[in-house]
Amino acid sequence: MTSPVSSPARPAHAGVHFPPPLIYAIAIVIGWLLDRWYPLPMVRGGSRVLEGGAIVCGLVYLAIFFAAAATFRRARTTLIPNRPANALVTSGPYRFTRNPMYVSLVVLYLGVTLALNSWWPLVLLPVVILVVTRAVIEREERYLSAAFPEYATYRARVRRWL
């Protein structure tokens, strides 16, 4: 973890002016609405396997998210992308992925998809990942590159998703 560089060229924040989980939530709602209009169940009548998978996904989401949030808290930096970062976090789950919180949201999204027993949200997931990458992650990466010179080394060493 390192402190940001002070420079007039450094942007104030990543420029993400909406909560990124909203992208996932909107896609889930659209998938649910599509399922109401034209049902595409994964399993007819539901399944204990789907319920179990949804619970496992929920637990994995909690583990990844809270590990990432605790790492941010220890670094005394913000989780909110429209606030300035005080440190570049590269430890904890950030050793494996540059975006563990967004990975955790994908896992939660999969869990909700299983709980809904519908293929529609799964069909929308690639769009969600593309929107999150373009509208959120790429902006955050530009900001972190400007704020932390060592971000380039970290970026070369650790994958964006998994």
61-99 pLDDT, tens digit per residue, is 999 999 999 999 999 998 888 888 889 999 999 999 999
pTM as predicted: 0.90
The alpha carbon of 3 is separated from its chain's Cα centroid by a whole number of angstroms, namely: 23
Residue 6 lies in a domain: no
In a domain, 29, yes or no: yes
- Does the residue 44 lie in any domain? yes
Residue 1 has a pLDDT of: 58
Q: How many domains does the chain have?
A: 1
* Mean pLDDT estimate for the chain: 91
